[in-house]
Every structure is written in C-alpha cells, then in structure tokens.
C-alpha cells in the first residue's frame, strides 16, 4: 500500500475516521490536509491536531487547505457538528504550529516525489485546485477514495445531493472530469452505503464498558451529532459517514458496487447531484466505482476492534469482542 493523505473537514465523523486510520497499522499517513466544509479549513486543522494529540501522533503534519469553494459561497455544517466542529466538546488546542505551506502546495510537492493514495472526506476543493493546475499528477494517485455523492439514496442537504459534493459541486465535477480524462476511477463511498453506518448510544455504551477513556471521548464528541439526528431524522444515533471510507480503503470487501461513468451537476436545484450512468447510456469509459452495498455489522466489528484499546494497550481481535445482540441497525 502507498502512503496516504487524508483530506478532510473535521467534523465529528471525520474525527472518528482519523481515529480509525490512526489505529490501523496497515496505513502510513504521510499527512492530513483540511478543507472548508463542515467547518472552516483552519478550524478543521486545529481539530485534526486535537485528534492527533489524543492519539499521540502530532508527528503527522496537518496542512490548511482552501477556505472557500471554487465558485459558490461557502456554507458550513456547524449546525450539525457544533460551533467548534467537534460537537461543542471544546477540547483543548494541541500544541505546536501549522506549516507555512498550504494543503495544495503540500499535495503538489508530495505527488511530484511519490505515488500516494488520497482518502477525501470533505468537499473536493483542494483536489480540484491541484489537479486543474497539474492534471498530470493524477497518474501519481494510486487510489482516490471519496466519501461523497449518492446513487439511489436521497440527499442529506437537498433532495438529491450529498453535502461534500453540494458544498463545492464545481470541485467534485472537476475531479470526476479530470479522472475520466486520465482514464482513472474515483472510488465513491456515497450515502447509499454510509447511511447504513449508524453509531448508536448502545454502541457508545459498549465502548465505554470495554475501554472507558475511548468511550467517553467518543460520547463527548458525538452527543451533539446524535441530538441533531434525532431532531432532523428521528434517528437514535448518528450516521458516521467518513470512517467507512477509511475501512473500505483498508479492506475492499467492506463494500461492493459497480463501475460507471459519473458526472456531478453544478447548477440549479440539482446542484451537487451525482449523475451515475449505471445503464451506460452515454457509452463513456467509467471514471468511478460506485459503492452501493455494505454490511454494517462487518464495519462495526472492524471499527470497534481498532479504536478500542485493551487495558494493557494492546489491540482487540474482532473475534474476541463478545458483542451483545442488536447493538446496531442493519445487521444482515
């Protein structure tokens, strides 16, 4: 596996994704880049470093990315993630400063030197800025796994659009277009699969009983998110989209789907909608792999075994988790 960069907008589910990535020995994280999405890019940078500090990984550099979308006014999601972007947990700032270099400059220089994979968990503004300037660097990208979009699932910020691609539809459209021209496919982890990944209060309670420090931390940053889900979707729990993208990057059996040519609408009431040509009307070479099936239980066992630590600091094996029945929705 090549080294990876996580491009994100932390954000509560981004933070859980970072915790999962940092607890996964298969991954070598070269760096983290932030982009304005759930929260402004600079706040996302501070939040990413709060997570790195908790995990003892402040050695991983964090670069601040684009502050606004390519064209549209920036719309944050702090109503969902809280005024601090971490569920109003108001965690202490991590020590140390940010590099001078911007996220796009960092990604450009890194890709000039080595092949990397990118797990994109926010609007694709950084990637669009970089690849529209340097399209030849796309060939240096082993894999781009993007949490965003939706195939048959309804949207989460409009009837037809998912937030990351709605927030900056021009950036998403640009990336799908450039990847098509480069003959490469974006792995699209959209709402069709992420909606099945619901962190419930029972799961949080289970984590607390198995690893109290981790459980209380997750409870602290997700309570606000759970309140939002009850108020707007009458869900007891919260959909944690981003960790599934990390899990899928590590274990491709986590989700299944199909290759397709995809474009992103940038105008009007369907702004941000992913138009997936699943029936091949346009006879265009696929530029995306659309994930549509996942097993919530498989993901949760994967996630719990990695983010929880035993008292001696060692890692859990999934088969040793002794999970109570009905901890989560969607058990196959």
Q: Chain centroid to CA 198: how far?
A: 15
Q: Which residues of 290-313 are buried (b: 16+ CB within 10 A; e: fewer)?
A: bbbebbbbbbbbbbbbbbbeeeee
Q: Which of 120, 122, 151, 125 is nearest to 274 (CA)?
A: 151
Number of residues that bind ligand RIB (CB under 6 A): 15
Query: How far lies 66's CA from each of 55, 69, 123, 144, 172, in Å?
Result: 26, 7, 10, 19, 14
Instruction: Choose from Ca ion, ligand RIB, none: what does 163 bind? Cβ within 5-8 Å by kind.
Output: ligand RIB
Site string for ligand RIB, 50-79 (x = CB under 6 A): ------------------------------
Distance CA 240, CA 242 (A): 6
Q: Which of 129, 130, 132, 125 is nearest to 146 (CA)?
A: 125
Select the residue interacting with Ca ion from 31, 122, 148, 155 (CB under 5 A).
122
Which of 156/214 has CB closer to ligand RIB? 156
Q: Which span (19-27, 61-69, 161-169, 309-317) binds ligand RIB, by CB under 6 A?
A: 161-169
| 121 is a contact residue toward ligand RIB (CB under 6 A) | yes
Number of residues that bind Ca ion (CB under 5 A): 6
Distance CA 239, CA 199 (A): 6
| 187 is a contact residue toward ligand RIB (CB under 6 A) | no
Using CB under 5 A as the binding rule, the residues of this chain from 230 to 259 that contact Ca ion are: 242
Instruction: Choose from Ca ion, ligand RIB, none: what does 192 bind? Cβ within 5-8 Å by kind.
Output: none
H or E element: which one contains 257? strand 255-264
| 163 is a contact residue toward ligand RIB (CB under 6 A) | yes
Which of 82/286 has CB closer to Ca ion? 82
| 188 is a contact residue toward ligand RIB (CB under 6 A) | no
Site string for ligand RIB, 81-120 (x = CB under 6 A): ----------------------------------------
Using CB under 5 A as the binding rule, the residues of this chain from 1 to 20 that contact Ca ion are: 9, 11, 14
Backbone φ and ψ for 277, nearest 5 degrees, come out as: -85, 65
Q: Tokens representing 257?
A: 């789907």
| Cβ(202)–Cβ(196) below 8 Å | no
Q: Which of 144, 146, 137 is nearest to 114 (CA)?
A: 137
Q: How far is the CB of 110 from ligand RIB (least distance, A)?
A: 22
Distance CA 83, CA 98 (A): 21
Select the residue interacting with ligand RIB from 117, 241, 260, 273 (CB under 6 A).
241
Distance CA 153, CA 162 (A): 9
Q: Tokens representing 46?
A: 């501070």
Q: How far is the CB of 17 from ligand RIB (least distance, A)?
A: 8
Instruction: Name, in order, each residue with C-beta under 8 angstroms of 312's C-beta and a sequence gap of 6 or more.
Output: none
Using CB under 5 A as the binding rule, the residues of this chain from 82 to 121 that contact Ca ion are: 121
Binding site for ligand RIB (CB under 6 A): 9, 11, 13-14, 37-38, 121-122, 147, 156, 162-164, 241-242
Instruction: Report the interface residues with Ca ion, using CB under 5 A.
Output: 9, 11, 14, 121-122, 242
């Amino acid at each position: 596996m090549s080294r990876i960069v996580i491009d994100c907008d932390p954000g509560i589910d981004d933070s859980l994704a970072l915790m999962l990535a940092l607890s996964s020995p298969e991954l070598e994280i070269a760096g983290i880049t932030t982009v304005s999405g759930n929260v402004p890019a600079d706040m996302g940078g501070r939040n990413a470093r709060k997570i790195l500090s908790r995990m003892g990984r402040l050695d991983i550099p964090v670069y601040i990315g684009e502050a606004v979308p390519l064209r549209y006014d920036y719309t944050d999601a702090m109503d969902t993630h809280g005024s601090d972007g971490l569920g109003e947990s108001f965690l202490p700032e991590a020590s140390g400063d940010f590099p001078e270099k911007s996220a796009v400059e960092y990604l450009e220089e890194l890709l000039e030197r080595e092949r990397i994979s990118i797990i994109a968990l926010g609007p694709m503004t950084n990637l669009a800025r970089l690849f529209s300037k340097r399209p030849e660097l796309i060939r240096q990208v082993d894999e781009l796994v993007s949490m965003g979009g939706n195939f048959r699932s309804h949207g989460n910020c409009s009837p037809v659009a998912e937030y990351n691609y709605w927030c900056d539809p021009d950036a998403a459209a640009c990336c799908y277009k450039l990847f098509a021209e480069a003959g490469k496919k974006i792995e699209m982890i959209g709402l069709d699969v992420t909606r099945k990944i619901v962190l419930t209060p029972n799961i949080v309670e289970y984590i607390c009983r198995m690893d109290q420090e981790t459980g209380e931390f997750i409870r602290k940053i997700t309570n606000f998110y759970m309140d939002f889900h009850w108020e707007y979707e009458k869900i007891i729990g919260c959909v944690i989209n981003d960790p599934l993208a990390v899990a899928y990057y590590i274990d491709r059996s986590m989700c299944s789907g199909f290759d397709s040519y995809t474009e992103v609408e940038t105008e009007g009431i369907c702004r941000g909608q992913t138009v997936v040509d699943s029936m091949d009307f346009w006879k265009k070479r696929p530029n995306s792999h659309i994930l549509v099936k996942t097993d919530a239980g498989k993901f949760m066992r994967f996630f719990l075994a990695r983010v929880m630590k035993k008292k001696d600091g060692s890692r859990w094996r999934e088969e040793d988790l002794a999970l109570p029945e009905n901890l989560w929705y969607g058990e196959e």
